[in-house]
């Protein structure tokens, strides 16, 4: 019973943690995870703010506001530290709970070192994404970015950044948290305390993919540790020979699960954690890979949504205006041979013919799109040559 309580507790903690950290991701839109996220980040906080105001008055709420400003609206390393705590903590728990079983029956001793290496590479990708230049646009390089990214006059048209006072190249956005314009802006990532843009989308993608792979590696390694323990302790033999349990998967499984939850609950909890995180990362990676393959950024995908829904409305208005005009024409042309009533009835409505197309001029085939992410414009030779010439 106690083991099940522990597992439920672990799962609940995990759900809250996942909802808090990732609930705002587009893949969770409209799900209960999004609702929990809303409650934790907004609803509960609202009650807390009112409580502070009630207890400490306006001075208390002002202090809270400045903390909120620092944590949410300014660059700060809080969530970066959280990442390091999560990855360090998980590795620490795996090492203390399972390294004494490595080498084991199914796992060789080399995994003590390869696991350390895998986590090290993960942290390296984290540092690369966090501290690399996302492609900051300034007066020195703005002309290169303007020629690299032409305006499509659909979602991007000629504009000046009102804060930086420089022309805004297509696909760029002014990050309000970092207070700078970033080329091919994707989003501001709180985990990295950095914008994700033209120059570091590749590290960001590598980061997500690598962490997915680490989770899978950890899952398989822990499963092999537990399988090895079962083999070494002859669990199946003891269960069948001494407890007289029938040697079939269906009969043995409940006892084995109970034994695992009893003796190795830390490993089981870590495995559940890794499984959930790997699913999240797989979803997140798929979403971003789809964007990369179509040469769209997260920022642009929102712009496209807006543009397409607006276009749909315009087209619908046009179609209904045309339909009205046609029916007025029919009324005046009484002499014309009448269209059969049935035919008119079954004729498709004009509204059904409304079609909107996403004409993304930056999408030039997935090979080119991948190349653009891996080798950004500003790192190509011609860009740096012109940059040094102009500088
Ligand atoms: Zn700007
Ligand atoms: Zn930013």
Q: How far is the CA of 331 from the centre of ligand 2 (A)?
A: 60
Q: 27 is in which domain, residue-wise?
A: 1-74
pLDDT digits (tens, 9 = 90+) for 273-308: 999 999 999 999 999 999 999 999 999 999 999 999
Amino acid 389: pLDDT: 47
Amino acid 391: pLDDT: 37
Amino acid 142: pLDDT: 95
Look at residue 289 and tell me if it is in a domain: no
8 Å CB contact between 3 and 262:
yes
Q: How far is the CA of 298 from the centre of ligand 1 (A)?
A: 18
Amino acid 136: pLDDT: 96
Look at residue 156 and tell me if it is in a domain: no
* Ion ligand 1 residue ranges (Cβ < 5 Å): 161, 163-164, 174, 181
Look at residue 374 and tell me if it is in a domain: no
3-state secondary structure of 171: coil
Active-site option among 164, 175, 189, 215? 189
Instruction: List, in order, residues 6 or more apart from 168 with CB less than 8 Å away.
Output: 137, 159, 160, 161, 174, 181
Look at residue 361 and tell me if it is in a domain: no
Gap between the Cα atoms of 222 and 107, Å rounded: 9
Look at residue 57 and tell me if it is in a domain: yes
Ligand nearest to the CA of 299: 2
Vertex 162, ends 182 and 390: CA angle to 5°? Answer: 55
Gap between the Cα atoms of 40 and 317, Å rounded: 41
* Ion ligand 2 residue ranges (Cβ < 5 Å): 175, 177-178, 188, 195
Q: How far is the CA of 319 from the centre of ligand 1 (A)?
A: 40
Look at residue 372 and tell me if it is in a domain: no
Q: How far is the CA of 75 from the centre of ligand 1 (A)?
A: 16
User: Among this protein's residues, is 189 annotated catalytic?
Assistant: yes
HEC-encoded secondary structure of 306-374: HHHHHHHHHHHHHHHHHHHHHHHHHHHCCCCCCCCHHHHHHCCCHHHHCCCCCCCCCCCCHHHHHHHHH
Ligand nearest to the CA of 134: 2
Ligand nearest to the CA of 161: 1
Vertex 178, ends 58 and 129: CA angle to 5°? Answer: 130
Look at residue 223 and tell me if it is in a domain: no
Q: How far is the CA of 2 from the centre of ligand 1 (A)?
A: 56
Q: How far is the CA of 181 from the centre of ligand 1 (A)?
A: 4
Gap between the Cα atoms of 54 and 191, Å rounded: 33
Amino acid 377: pLDDT: 87
* Structural domains in the chain (count): 1
Structural tokens at position 92: 């620490």
Look at residue 55 and tell me if it is in a domain: yes
Amino acid 116: pLDDT: 96
Residues of the chain with pLDDT under 70: 1-3, 333-354, 381-391
């Amino acid at each position: 019973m106690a083991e099940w309580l522990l597992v439920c507790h672990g799962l609940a903690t995990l759900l809250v943690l996942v909802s808090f950290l990732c609930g705002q991701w587009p893949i969770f839109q409209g799900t209960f995870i999004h609702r929990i996220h809303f409650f934790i980040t907004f609803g509960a906080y609202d009650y807390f703010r009112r409580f502070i105001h009630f207890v400490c008055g306006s001075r208390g709420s002002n202090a809270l506001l400045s903390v909120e400003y620092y944590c949410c609206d300014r660059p700060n390393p809080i969530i970066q530290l959280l990442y390091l705590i999560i990855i360090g903590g998980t590795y620490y728990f795996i090492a203390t709970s399972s390294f004494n079983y490595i080498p084991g029956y199914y796992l060789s001793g080399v995994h003590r070192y390869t696991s350390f290496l895998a986590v090290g590479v993960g942290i390296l990708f984290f540092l690369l994404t966090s501290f690399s230049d996302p492609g900051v646009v300034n007066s020195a390089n703005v002309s290169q970015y303007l020629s690299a990214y032409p305006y499509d006059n659909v979602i991007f048209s000629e504009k000046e950044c009102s804060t930086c006072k420089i022309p805004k190249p297509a696909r760029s956005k002014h990050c309000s948290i970092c207070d700078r314009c970033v080329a091919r802006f994707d989003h501001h990532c709180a985990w990295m305390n950095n914008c994700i843009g033209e120059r570091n989308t590749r590290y960001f993608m590598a980061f997500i993919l690598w962490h997915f792979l680490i989770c899978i590696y950890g899952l398989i390694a822990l499963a092999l540790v537990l399988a090895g323990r079962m083999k070494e302790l002859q669990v199946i033999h003891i269960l069948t020979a001494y407890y007289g349990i029938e040697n079939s998967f269906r009969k043995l499984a409940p006892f084995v699960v109970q034994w695992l939850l009893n003796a190795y609950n830390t490993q089981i909890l870590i495995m559940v954690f890794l499984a959930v995180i790997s699913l999240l990362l797989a979803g997140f990676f798929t979403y971003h890979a789809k964007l990369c393959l179509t040469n769209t950024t997260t920022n642009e995908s929102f712009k496209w949504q807006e543009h397409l829904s607006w276009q749909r409305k315009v087209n619908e208005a046009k179609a209904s205006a045309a339909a009205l005009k046609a029916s007025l024409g029919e009324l005046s042309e009484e002499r014309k041979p009448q269209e059969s009533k049935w035919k008119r009835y079954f004729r498709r409505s004009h509204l059904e013919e409304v079609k909107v197309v996403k004409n993304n001029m930056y999408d030039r085939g997935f090979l080119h799109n991948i190349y653009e992410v891996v080798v950004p414009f500003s790192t190509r030779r011609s860009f740096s040559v012109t940059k040094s010439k102009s500088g």
